Structure 1
C-alpha cells in the first residue's frame, strides 16, 4: 500500500540486496558500548523482622490483631449507618421476608382457582 499523504521516499527499500531468514544481520558500523562487569558481594547477616525490634515476639502480633479488629469494627459501623431515603427504602425491601411474598402469591393463586372453578361450574350447568 502506498503512503497517501506523505512524501515519496528517495530510496527504494527493495533496491538493496536482501538476505535469507536464517542468515546473520549485516555488521553494524557503529561501535558497541561495553558494559563494565560488576562484582557481587554476599553478606551473611540475619534479616530484621518487619516492624522493628521487639522485646517479645507476640507483642507486635497482638497489636496488629487489635488494630485489624478495630478497623473491621469501624467499617461495620459505617456500613450499618443509613444515609438517606433511598437507602432506607432499600433496607426495607431487603428486610421483607420471602414468606410474606409467598403468602401474597398463594392468595392470588387461590383466587384464580376459585374463579376457574366457578367458571367451570357455570359452563357445565
Structure 2
C-alpha cells in the first residue's frame, strides 16, 4: 500500500531537470525529412468579377436566364401555397373518435390534467377500501 504513490518509478518532473542557458542553440527540428510541395493555385470556378459594397443586386430581367428564373420562382411559390392549403385542410379535417379525444387532451391545461388524475386516484383508493371492507366479513 505504501508504494501506491511512490515517485521512484515515475518520471521526473520537467522543473526538476536542468534547463538550458539563455542564448544557447534552439532544439533541433524533430523531423528533417523533405516536405511535399504546396499545390498550385487553380483558377476559380466562377466567372463573375463579384460585387462591390453598396452595389444593387441584378434584377431578374437583366439576368440572361431571367425568364427561367422567374418561372422557377413562380413554381416554388405555387408549391408553397399548395402545401399550406394541404396542411390547413388536414388540420381542420374530422379525425373520428380518437382524434377528437386527442384534441380534447391537447386542449387541457395542466391544472385540469392534475385535477383529473387526482379524481382517478381518489376513486381507485375508495374502491380498494370498499373491497377490503367487503373481504373483512
Check whether TM > 0.5.
no
* TM-score where L is the length of structure 1: 0.41
* TM-score where L is the length of structure 2: 0.38
